[in-house]
Copies of this chain bind each other. A is one copy, B any other.
Amino acid sequence: MKVTFQIEGATPVEIECNAGDNLLELARRANVAIDAPCSGNGSCGKCRVRLMDGQLDSIKSRHISDEEYEAGWRLSCNSKVMGDCTVFVPDIASAYQSRMKTADLSSPEEVAIFEKCQNDLKASGITFANRFRSVLLQMSEPTEEDTMPDNERLTWAVQDALGVEKVEIPYFVMVKLASTLRSHGFAVCVKGELAGDTFRCMDICGSDDKMIVGCAIDIGTTTVSMVLADLETGKILAKGSSGNGQIRYGADVINRIIEQSKPGGQKKLQDAIVKETLTPIIAKLCQTAGITASSIVRMSIGANTTMNHLLVGVDADPVRMDPYIPSFFGWQGLKAGDLSLPANPLADVMIAPNIGSYVGGDITAGTLAATIWDKDEMSLFIDLGTNGEIVFGNRDFLMSCACSAGPAFEGGDISCGMRATDGAVEACTVDKDTMEPTLQVVGEPGQKPVGICGSGIIDIISELYRCGIINARGLFTREGDRVRRDRHGCGRYVLAYEKESETGREISINEVDIDNFIRAKGAIFSAIDTLLRSVDMTVDMIDKVYVAGGIGSGINMKNAVNIGMLPDVELEKFSYIGNSSLSGAYALAVSDEASTKCAEVAANMTYLELSTYPGYMDSFVAACFIPHTDAKLFPSSHQEV
């Protein structure tokens, strides 16, 4: 039997199947994008599809109303195929996954932040120079008198040009040596790496192809971002980002580790990141930059410990299993050719070292970029991604920890949540008297709202609390047009009525959503609190707070303090530093000194395992209020700025 997926705005896809097959699994096999941030356990309600024809054996979900069920709506994760059927896959089903805000790297704000990071690194004494060289060579052609074979001819020319003693010519270069020399009249460009008295050739091409390129990649659990940079000047040649293709195997690292543990799982997860995600972006950026793939002679990765393991294709199970010792923290030895990436196969893929199972190379790279390792002042570094990671310290010490904030900051675990793409409510104010909201929506002017992204949720909760619409526990305490309750009494605040939304569905935030979010922000704050306590320090000793991560780009710091998510310090101490993992990875790719410094930062960073740290759970429970059970910690909460 077979299932036909009628995808909104795309060509239908058919797949052969057997009775009893899970519909979400079938969609994955057929490469039909359907969001399932909860990894298909029925809790998130994102994988809604509509049965058009045929029969499904589905469990009725709380996410599907009676009317919707009648109209054929089902959760694909809890539907079994019973015979030939046709299901409609709405565009929204992959909003979380595929409609990425890919332009964010090019906004003037992001560019300025990125450049500031590099300038800060230079100010900290990091030289942006590297050992890669591109050399133009003009050789004479062999004759009866000049009987030197091609490889010796090249060796002499390189020795002469670079003053090196030895020249290594690997297979990749050797196989095209004869033809390249002859098709370019023995005037060629050789690219490679200096290593002591040796030059390691990596590519040979015509003299018009002189660029040597570094490729820096931030692999987030949700989003992958990348820049190509000229290794001679440091200039950015192209930028891009897209969703992490692994997302169909779960929104968070735990679900993906479970998936990779299944037979064939490691390969599946590795393919999802390498073949489906990185390969097309690199290919596209090469095209944009007008370079050949083999010009990419160095790559760098900023990614969390799990992403690093899944990238390499190493069993990630130890990451989530007691005693939480992964297969590697730092590891050198990966080549682009090992992963068949569209780059020079000999290019080193430098992985920024992990610190622990839940503080990864993205944090090491981010810490490098934030230059807190070079300052006297006490800095707090917070990366708000799918997980929350915290670093605290200065030039004398660095402490780090991680907390499982869950996907709430990215719109996961929130009934109307979505990522910060077109249609996302990214900011919001509420009139205290009328309770009417004023929404700021991502997209072109006139864009109707589709859902709520992380920064929007912070604003909404902060505003609802300020207006007395919800109490410190996130429960609704006022009634009105905008406040509604379902038959179980669960309250919700309507941001957009059916007619006002893009999808025709009401956009609201309910008590379950608020509770999920309070637990997420509580996890972040209690992690900060515990990390400070572990070194006998308090909030007032913090000199600087660096907030990093894609999630943070639209964040209203004041509201984040108001709800007790970030520590209550003077607003001028906060800096948003954008995608610091990517900034750090860029530095690694372009600067030899930066990669040495990054290893040093990693070696000097202490990892605090929160889950077993005394008092963390108490701190977490205390933080699960707005702003906190101990209001003295947030004296400025809901004072006007």
Contact = CB atoms under 8 A, between A and B. Distances in A.
Given A178-B315, A322-B144, A171 B335 contact: yes
Interface stretch (A149-157, A375-383, A586-594): A149-157
Given A147-B325, A323-B142, A325-B147, A331 B169 contact: yes
Given A144-B323, A150-B318, A168-B333, 16 more contacts: A142-B323, A143-B323, A147-B323, A147-B325, A149-B326, A149-B328, A150-B326, A150-B327, A150-B328, A168-B332, A169-B331, A174-B328, A175-B312, A177-B327, A178-B327, A179-B315
Interface residues of A, number: 37
Interface of A: 142-144, 147-152, 168-172, 174-175, 177-179, 312-315, 318, 322-323, 325-329, 331-335, 338
Contact of A329 (B149, B174, B178): B149
Contacts of A332: 168
Which of A144, A327, A331, A332 gathers most chain B CB within 10 Å? Answer: A327
A395 B177 CA distance: 35
A391 to B, nearest CB: 19
Listed from nearest, the 10 A-B pairs whose CB atoms lie closest are A171-B338, A142-B325, A178-B315, A178-B327, A144-B323, A151-B328, A150-B327, A170-B333, A149-B328, A149-B329
A614 to B, nearest CB: 15
A335 B171 CA distance: 8
A175 B314 contact: yes
A178 B323 contact: no
11 contacts: A144-B322, A147-B325, A149-B325, A149-B326, A150-B318, A151-B327, A151-B328, A168-B332, A171-B333, A174-B312, A178-B315
B149 A327 contact: yes
A174 B314 contact: yes
Contacts of A334: 171, 174
A264 B365 CA distance: 46
Contacts of A175: 312-314
A177 B313 CA distance: 11
Contacts of A325: 142, 147-150
A327 B323 CA distance: 55
Contacts of A148: 325
Given A147-B323, A325-B148, A328-B149, A171 B312 contact: yes
A263 to B, nearest CB: 13
Nearest to A175: B313
Nearest to A356: B147
A178 B322 CA distance: 15
A313 to B, nearest CB: 5
A512 B546 CA distance: 91
Contacts of A142: 318, 323, 325
Nearest to A270: B175
Contacts of A333: 168-171, 174
Contacts of A174: 312, 314, 327-328, 331, 333-334
A162 to B, nearest CB: 18
A178 to B, nearest CB: 4
A257 to B, nearest CB: 13
Nearest to A170: B333
Contacts of A312: 171, 174-175
A350 to B, nearest CB: 13
Contacts of A171: 312, 333-335, 338
A164 B168 CA distance: 24
A610 to B, nearest CB: 14
Contacts of A313: 175
A327 B171 CA distance: 13
Contacts of A335: 171
Contacts of A168: 332-333
Contacts of A152: 328-329
Given A144-B322, A144-B323, A323-B143, A151 B331 contact: yes
A172 B312 CA distance: 10
A326 B153 CA distance: 11
Contacts of A169: 331, 333
A335 B172 CA distance: 11
A336 to B, nearest CB: 11
A260 to B, nearest CB: 12
A94 B10 CA distance: 57
A196 to B, nearest CB: 12
Contacts of A323: 142-144, 147
Nearest to A171: B338
Which of A149, A175, A322 gathers most chain B CB within 10 Å? Answer: A149
A36 to B, nearest CB: 27
A551 to B, nearest CB: 28
Contact of A178 (B149, B151, B172, B318): B318
A599 to B, nearest CB: 13
A168 B334 CA distance: 11
B144 A177 contact: no
A174 B332 CA distance: 10
A149 B318 CA distance: 9
Contacts of A144: 322-323
A305 to B, nearest CB: 10
A404 B147 CA distance: 21
A531 B177 CA distance: 33
Nearest to A315: B178
A332 B167 CA distance: 10
A313 B175 CA distance: 6
Contacts of A170: 333
A628 to B, nearest CB: 31
A152 B179 CA distance: 43
A148 B327 CA distance: 9
